[in-house]
Amino acid sequence: MTTNSLSISRLSQLAEEHPDAITATLCGFLVILGSLALHLGWPGLAVFILPAAYVIGGYSSAREGLTTLFQERELDVDLLMIVAALGAASLGLWRQEYHLIVDGAVLILIFAISGALEGYAMQRTERSIRSLMSLTADTARVMMYGDEREIAIEKLEIGDRILVKPGEIIPTDAIIIEGFSSLNQASITGESMPVEKTAGDEVYAGTINGVGALQLEVHKTPESSLIQRVIRMVQQAQTEAPPSQMFVEKFERGYARLIVGLGLLLAILPPFILGWNWEDTIYRALIFLVVASPCALMASIMPALLSGIANGAKQGILFKSGAQLEIIGKVRAIAFDKTGTLTTGKPEVIQIVPAAGYTETEVLQLAAALEVYSEHAIAIAIVKAAQQQQLELPTATDVQAKIGQGIIGKVNNQIITIGKAEFVEATAELTQVSQQLQAEGKTVVWVAKGDQLLGIIAVADTLRPEAANTIKCLTNLGIEHIIMLTGDNQQTAQYIASELGINEVYAELLPEDKVQVIKDLQKHYQTVAMIGDGINDAPALAQASVGIAMGISGSDVALETADIVLMADNLEKLAQAIILGRRAQNVVKQNIVFALSCILLLLAANFLGNITMPLGVIGHEGSTVIVTLSGLRMLRN
């Protein structure tokens, strides 16, 4: 390919990627050429060149403005700019003051430059969000009858086995069936440190495999993967306008009609009231149309909110819309679900208390020998504890589970009973210890051999490591009321809450009870957040002013219902989300105040006769560019 062909190809690519920039550049070239012709005393050439600048720079705005006018019967800012520019050109031709034609062309040019800069700013924000798209692989290496075949991701089915080599992207959510590796999950969870994964662990599409080869089994369809849900949520966030933006858009339409009406009055009344000549009157009316247009006001909100959404996505905080970014900054009360949110949702063996004459190892070994046959969460915790201590488990026979009571079986022809105190027929030996453990929110499992008590095992759902610090941070941020909601018993709930510094607890709740608590909170605090992970939390998440779901442990229903998702299940991100929301509010307020101040200042200068059309254009469009770039501050952590 020749150098000329490469140049043409590159120009064509630039025109497709940045059409507004190309338009502004051509318009600027023609404005400079027309101004030079006028300066050299060739007004005829200038009058021939400058209209081309009007057409190239103003075509898009004129089309949008006329479309809005004829289809929606509304006036907008684009049409105001075009009317002002054409009015300046007409006045220049009438008075043969050709510099006014240049003024109108400069208005078109700066409007085009402003549009190009706003487009660039929005592209930068959207590009930061759309980078999620590049995290997904197009194909997967499927193992079939010992051979490897590459197939498209969308053709994967549940049960397919796939091979992922070191350094490759995980193609879809799956379970490791063979291999060990560390995975970079920053794209999903926002955490920079790699996470070690082995057989039985779940891996997520879009994460990057480390040094070990992995064999995976697909356990959900590719379109249901976590990264695909994230992408859909991000796309939804880009299309939904927050309340403040919708208000400003409605305000713009009425404001534009008001400006046109005032512009007509200013073009007619001053000669009769103030004694102005008609040329100056029309010129000032045209400047009024320019400087009073709410372009900067319109650009005050969405760039900031989209930038905030992008920033949150990079930190593992997924906002489904700009509205939720606004609302989270206004939250005054927060309700936490307990299990799976403040706690890990996975019971663990906390303490083993043997009876006299026995050891902790003996108690755990015999208990795990039976519990290995059960799928109950407490049984899994006991077996896991035995595995962590690398205990060799004896073989159990005649194992029977008694629903709601416990499990019974034989080890070395001796009957082993595990479960509640009344099922095991426990003696009073460890009753006081058991009561103390239960008062601390732990579940107590009794273990007996024949009619002899071996000991008790305390199992509990452990607190998330960051939970207490999160509550403290939220209090320091000025959150007025923090409560805990749970379906668990009052004693356990109260103990967990006291450990975290939460003063108000609602226990033994059904899903509809949680909804009622949220409604009651909203009566007193208006803006209430609810954070949860389970299906039973979904109604409360929907009722809350802003619902927040745990991204990894959260159920599909909770993720779909929630407005914000914490991708790493890291509660500390909740405080960051609130800080991000408050920053967004501050930036938007600053932008609005700046935009309105510029409009008022320019209007005052126009009425005092101290401003020309080019200066009015620069002031108006400059303020628009400034608030747009100001919104990009939200991209910074």
What residues act catalytically? 337
Q: What CA–CA distance (Å, rounded) separates 411 from 25? A: 86
In sequence order, which residues have a C-beta less than 8 Å from that of residue 498 and are 6 or more positions away?
none
Buried b (16+ CB within 10 A) or exposed e, 347-364: bbbbebbbbeebeeebbb
Tell me if residue 147 falls in helix, strand or coil. Answer: strand
Tell me if residue 141 falls in helix, strand or coil. Answer: strand
Pairing of strands 546-550, 564-566: parallel
Task: Report the chain's terminal Cα–Cα distance, integer Å.
Answer: 44
Bridge partners, 347 (sequence order): 461
Q: What CA–CA distance (Å, rounded) separates 337 from 341? A: 6
Q: What CA–CA distance (Å, rounded) separates 541 from 584? A: 23
Q: What CA–CA distance (Å, rounded) separates 162 from 141? A: 5
Q: What Rg do the C-alpha atoms of the chain give, in angstroms?
A: 34
Q: Which two tokens stand for residue 405?
A: 């009571």
Q: Mapped to the 3 state alphabet, what secondary structure does 516-542 carry?
A: HHHHHHHHHHCCEEEEECCHHHHHHHH
Q: What CA–CA distance (Å, rounded) separates 298 from 99? A: 30
Pairing of strands 214-218, 161-164: antiparallel
Calculate helix-pair angle for 99-130, 302-314, nearest 10 degrees. Answer: 20
Task: Give alpha helix (H) positions in 451-544.
Answer: 467-476, 490-500, 511-525, 538-543
Q: How many residues does the chain have?
A: 637
Q: DSSP secondary-structure letter at 169? A: B
Q: What CA–CA distance (Å, rounded) separates 636 from 277? A: 52
Pairing of strands 443-449, 414-419: antiparallel
Calculate helix-pair angle for 43-72, 77-95, nearest 10 degrees. Answer: 150
In angstroms, how far is CA 438 from the centroid of its own chain? Answer: 40
Tell me if residue 508 falls in helix, strand or coil. Answer: coil
Report the amino acid identity of residue 458: A
User: The sheet that has 504-506: what strands, in order across it?
Assistant: 317-319, 564-566, 546-550, 528-532, 333-337, 481-485, 504-506
The answer to whether residues 233 and 565 touch, using CB atoms and an 8 Å cutoff, is yes
Q: What CA–CA distance (Å, rounded) separates 198 from 188? A: 18
What is the torsion angle, in degrees rounded to the nearest 10, for the CA atoms of residue 319, residue 325, residue 329 and residue 330?
A: -110
Q: What CA–CA distance (Å, rounded) separates 462 from 451? A: 32
